[in-house]
Amino acid sequence: MARWSGFERQAPELAGAVRRQLTATRHCVLGTLRADGSPRLTGLESQFGDGELWLAMMPDSRKADDLRRDPRFALHSAPDVSMADGDAKVNGIAVLVDDAATRDRFAATLPHAPPSSGFALFRAELTDASLARVDDDHMVIDSWRDGEAPRQVRRSSEPQESAGSGPVGALSHYPDAPFRGRTMGWRVGGGDPGSAALCCGSSPLWWRCSSRTSTGAS
């Protein structure tokens, strides 16, 4: 795993873009795990300093309890309906910081004094990060994993040839969607029962999502 400074050394351009998206709005979306293993999503102000990504929260909050019990987390930038600058995401573990000097240095960087109830402070150690954006008719995903070179994947909306019924959730091109241009919109039903149309980002990437299962022999 890598601290934020390690991410910056390994993939400086991607780290800069991810940081810009995580700080573009006041809150990000933090994913933690409840005691029963189900996910919890909450808002969080991400903070950067001393080469670290800090996760600070109320000491008795549910998300703090989650991270003390299971340090795994995901942090996602505030959703951008246009995806013009991309959606950023980092995954890793949150390390509880008890050192008084480190906590004092962190508190001194805040734009306002910490609440009288105090705060729980965690240092992020990252396993991976990614930035997804729309470029014309492509979904472009830049990703990094600790110890590996960053890579880019471009996914096209070009229609795929179908060999009959596909598995549950199979996607096929849907060229005549009337809601072209909306973000993450759905149209259920229509000429093909059990189908829906999805537009991803601001680009007209429409698909028909078939619920039919494969009839091939196993």
Q: Quote the number of domains for the chain.
A: 2
**Percent of the chain residues topping a pLDDT of 70:** 70
Any alpha helices (H) in 23-131, and if so which ranges?
62-69, 100-108
Tell me the C-alpha distance between 200 and 97, whole Å: 39
The b-or-e profile of 88-102 (16+ CB within 10 A means b, else e) is bbbbbbbbebeeeee
**195 and 130 within one domain:** no
Looking at 154, 175, 204, the residue that finishes a domain is 154
The per-residue pLDDT for range 140-168, each reduced to its tens digit, is: 999 999 999 999 999 876 654 444 443 33
**128 and 181 within one domain:** no
Question: Tokens in use for 13?
Answer: 């351009």
**91 and 42 within one domain:** yes
Average pLDDT of 57-85? Answer: 90
**183 and 106 within one domain:** no
**103 and 176 within one domain:** no
**201 and 120 within one domain:** no
Question: Tokens in use for 73?
Answer: 């987390």
Tell me the C-alpha distance between 166 and 211, whole Å: 9
**70 and 26 within one domain:** yes
Looking at 154, 185, 210, the residue that finishes a domain is 154
**173 and 67 within one domain:** no
Contact 57, 68 (CB under 8 A): no
**131 and 112 within one domain:** yes
Looking at 125, 154, 183, the residue that finishes a domain is 154
pLDDT at 82: 65
**38 and 136 within one domain:** yes
Residue 141 CB contacts under 8 Å (≥ 6 apart), including other chains: 130, 131, 132, 152, 153, 154, 155
**105 and 69 within one domain:** yes
Residue 22's pLDDT band, with cuts at 50, 70 and 90, is very high
**Percent of the chain residues topping a pLDDT of 90:** 55
* pTM of the shown model: 0.71
pLDDT at 81: 66
Q: What CATH number is associated with residue 73?
A: 2.30.110.10
**150 and 165 within one domain:** no
Burial class (CB in 10 A: 0-12, 13-18, 19+), 205: buried
> Which residues constitute the domain of residue 89?
4-154
The b-or-e profile of 111-124 (16+ CB within 10 A means b, else e) is eeeeeeeebbbbbb
DSSP 89: E
